[in-house]
Structure 1
Amino acid sequence: MRSQVAAASLALTLAAFAIFAASAASATSASSASSRASAVVPLDTLLDRAAWYLDYFVDEFENVVAEERYVQDSTMPLPSFSPVGGGRGGGFPPPPSPSDAARARHRDLRSDFLLVKSPDTLALVPFRDVIDVDGVAIRDREARLANLFLSARGASVMEQAERIGAEGARYNLGNMRSTLGNPVLGLGVLQRTYQARFRFTLAKDDRASAAGVSVVEFKETSSPAMIRGEAGRDLMAHGRVWIDSATGRVTKTELQVEQPVIRASIVTTFRLEDRSGIGVPEEMREQYTFANGNRIATVATYGRFRRFDVNTTEDIRTPLGTLVDEWTGMTLVELPPGRFTMGSRSSEIGRNDDEAMHDVEITRPFLIGQYEVTQQEWRTVMGTAPSHFSACGSGCPVENVAFDDVQQFIAKLNAHVARSPESVALRQAQGDREQSGPVGSRQSPRYRLPTEAEWEYACRARTAGPFSTGENLTTAQANYNGKLPYASFPAGEFRQKPTPAGTFPLNPWGLGDMHGNVWEWTADWYAPYPEFSFANIDPHGPASGEKRVIRGGSWYFDANSARCGLRYTHAPQDKGFSLGFRVAADRVR
């Protein structure tokens, strides 16, 4: 059914792509107007970072559903279908007859908003399923879109989802079947495959935006256009995007299109989702101005972001597998490949000069210890008890071990696995189910220390602040010297010794004591971070050096030492009562 708006040639169709903006690890890179002016990033570099960033989230942010509240207002009454409450919403009712349509100026919709990867283009496609209209329930909340995509994939499923979306679109003011109302549409201009169709220029800084955010203007110049009008007519888009200069994260988009009878503007702002570290749409504002003088203004807000294919806790976290070494009792968590920003922003309190921000890519999954290696685990493998705090108990981390001692531990552990591969059990989370079984010789782990990059990737767990807990770390969250808190935060407890594994809450990837307790050896020799991007793909430290990198802080040191980005060193032969380690591993056949 067409509305007055559609009759005025508004029948805009979305391109068959949509990229959802998010950030696993993102931060601003300047702290004042002067630093903003002195750290101008070239346009080509900005666009490359933004494209790289968006590619990552096309892969990472599939099957996310949110609750959308979509408020629409018109200066003139428009034909608008009024719902009858109490329906189950399982079928596809016919369009309303003219007698069913009332004229309205205001509409308040609540919907499930879902992003699904297209089987044809591998891009993310948005769908809406209306839950209620002006407070009247359209259907029970059976999450039918989510259930539809969980049950099957392919073109037929996409068609069914499109039918669900078309059913809900009839409740828009004017019964508009298609609008520009897609909060992630403006991101598409930055996708690598689309950039060639646009002309980009650096614009003046927006003083209302955060430091380190650059504004880029764009204008579409080549067909086929990203947005099509009636009869497939190209509608050339133009507008602006706000890009974090250091990471490529998009904080705001503004997209405009015009044709003789209508002008449209869509502005979306994004916020950081604290638990997942993903940037999600916060608000979308649309403005449609028609030749007849009518204006439609909409405001959409988004909340309750969750993956519908993980579990019923509605948490965006990735389902992670675990591996249990039954000889030692160690549990390792398997982390997915991904990209993140390593280092710390220039405004971060306590930052050192060797913490330059740079993008890093981890291309393969790897395993890392859920906790630091304990005294009991060390004794099982080595038959010795080197810890200064032996009275702390078998569940406390082993400490007072040199780098070479750790290498001997790892060598013996690998030798045992080679002799008895059945001693390692794999438990792979799949939604709310779990599969268990022996790894065997087909997928045995090869133990090692984590690289410095892997360690920080695990510590951050897709968060972007000084700590995985945010802007502060309390002594209720980690074991450090509470007399020396971070920044201007209050002092806390100083326990004066290590604490047993599992004492404190886990980070978003289910890892314990990444902050504090004991320092942790990494595999890398210390050196400044490399300046070339190719060196930041699965990076390792230099081939030789004088000191090894240690990470994480300890019970004896201040909160600042426990920051995700802080680097510290020790010579390989050094030992100490606050220096331990956790293992990493790779699967080998």
Structure 2
Amino acid sequence: MVFRKHTIFPEEFPEAWASDWGEDEYGLWMAFTYKDVRQVFRWCEPGTFLMGSPNDEPERDDDELQHEVTLTKGFWIADTPVTQALWTAVMGEDDQNPSPHFPGDDRPVENVSWDDAQAFIDTMNGLKAELKLCLPTEAQWEYACRAGTTTPFSWGDQIDSSLVNFKANRPYFNGRNSEYRKHTINVKALPCNNWGLYQMHGNVFEWCQDWYGEYPLTPVTDPRGPQSWVGRVLRGGSWFLSGRFCRSASRHRFAPSIRRVNYGFRLSR
């Protein structure tokens, strides 16, 4: 087994809130457990990467201008999207499960807006303030999704339904048809990327913290998007859309109050 080698470590490890922690082939991790529901967070150390897509990437969009991004601070990101079990544990049984279409404790919570995600985060931080939870920035999200890769997907130039839950009868750029499931699946049902993160591609779109905006023409450090706009960023594609939307560089945006059956979110710290 080849372990991922970190060169920059978190200031504190483990932190007092962690129910368990360790190091494996994907790197450092800590878990938070509440009402028997466990969420693992993975350490992403500072680094520089190319955000966006090169001009010759098939099926790219015009808003994916490739540019250099430096993240000066490491961060922790959840290894899965928020599940329905975690949502119910935190928000309470009286708060109706927002995901009636595809119920399941280990399926991602969906049909949630950016505003809903913020309410969940506020509630969870209220339970334990030292968690310091938030949504990832768009740059953090893509950095974690790519996990050191530069190809359209973290697995390379192509995907199918053995790797990603998407509308696989509409494959990416000359790909082959594979199973179109027509629903969400359990958050760990498919392989993780090189940093131990599950379903950064497909299953549900994931809200990011940023307002949507144009990318800069020059290298940037710790970008956080524009101060305001009409839509918040979503990333990752979903079970409902074709392969091109699952690419690491693909961007989507919608008003923060909008709920859709393929919108979920992932926690960051």
Bin of the TM-score, shorter chain as denominator length? 0.7 to 0.9
- Paired residues, number: 245
- 8 Å Cα contact 1:388/1:577 also seen in 2: no
AA at the equivalent of 1:512: Y
Instruction: Give me the whole-angstrom Cα distance separating, in 2, the residues matched to 1:365 and 1:445.
Output: 15
- 8 Å Cα contact 2:68/2:218 also seen in 1: no
Q: Percent identity?
A: 39
Matches within 5 A, 1:408-557: 408-418=119-129, 444-533=130-219, 536-557=220-241
TM-fit CA distance, 1:390? 4.2
AA at the equivalent of 1:501: V
Provide the secondary structure at the position in 2 that maps to 1:454.
helix
The answer to whether residue 48 in structure 2 is matched with residue 339 in structure 1 is yes
TM-fit CA distance, 1:569? 0.7
Instruction: Give me the whole-angstrom Cα distance separating, in 2, the residues matched to 1:389 and 1:362.
Output: 38
Provide the secondary structure at the position in 1 that maps to 2:111.
coil
- 8 Å Cα contact 2:121/2:134 also seen in 1: yes
Matches within 5 A, 1:223-262: none
Q: Which runs of 5+ in 2 are unaligned?
A: 1-5, 8-22
The CA deviation string for residues 535-582 of structure 1, in whole angstroms up to 9 with x for no partner, is: x21110111110011000000000110000001111111101100000
Q: Which runs of 5+ in 1 are unaligned?
A: 1-58, 61-309, 312-316, 419-443
The answer to whether residue 257 in structure 2 is matched with residue 573 in structure 1 is yes
Instruction: Give me the whole-angstrom Cα distance separating, in 2, the residues matched to 1:359 and 1:388.
Output: 41
Stretches (4+) displaced over 4 A: none
AA at the equivalent of 1:402: S
TM-fit CA distance, 1:325? 1.0
Provide the secondary structure at the position in 2 that maps to 1:331.
strand
Aligned to 1:382: 91
Aligned to 2:11: none
AA at the equivalent of 2:184: P
- 8 Å Cα contact 1:527/1:542 also seen in 2: yes
- 8 Å Cα contact 2:45/2:75 also seen in 1: yes
Instruction: Give me the whole-angstrom Cα distance separating, in 1, the residues matched to 2:48 and 2:229.
Output: 27
Instruction: Give me the whole-angstrom Cα distance separating, in 2, the residues matched to 1:388 and 1:576.
Output: 12
- Using structure 1 for the length normalisation, give the TM-score: 0.41
The CA deviation string for residues 512-554 of structure 1, in whole angstroms up to 9 with x for no partner, is: 0000000000000001012343xx2111011111001100000
Matches within 5 A, 1:156-305: none
- Using structure 2 for the length normalisation, give the TM-score: 0.88
Provide the secondary structure at the position in 2 that maps to 1:378.
helix
Instruction: Give me the whole-angstrom Cα distance separating, in 2, the residues matched to 1:387 and 1:570.
Output: 19
Matches within 5 A, 1:8-407: 320-327=27-34, 328-383=37-92, 384=95, 385-391=97-103, 393-407=104-118
- 8 Å Cα contact 1:451/1:524 also seen in 2: yes
Instruction: Give me the whole-angstrom Cα distance separating, in 1, the residues matched to 2:218 and 2:243.
Output: 31
AA at the equivalent of 1:559: G
Provide the secondary structure at the position in 1 that maps to 2:122.
helix
Aligned to 2:12: none
- 8 Å Cα contact 2:99/2:110 also seen in 1: yes
Bigger relative contact order, structure 1 or 2 (CA pairs below 8 A, ≥6 apart):
2
- Structure (1/2) with the larger helix percentage: 1
TM-fit CA distance, 1:388? 3.3
Instruction: Give me the whole-angstrom Cα distance separating, in 1, the residues matched to 2:62 and 2:183.
Output: 30
AA at the equivalent of 1:382: M
TM-fit CA distance, 1:376? 0.6
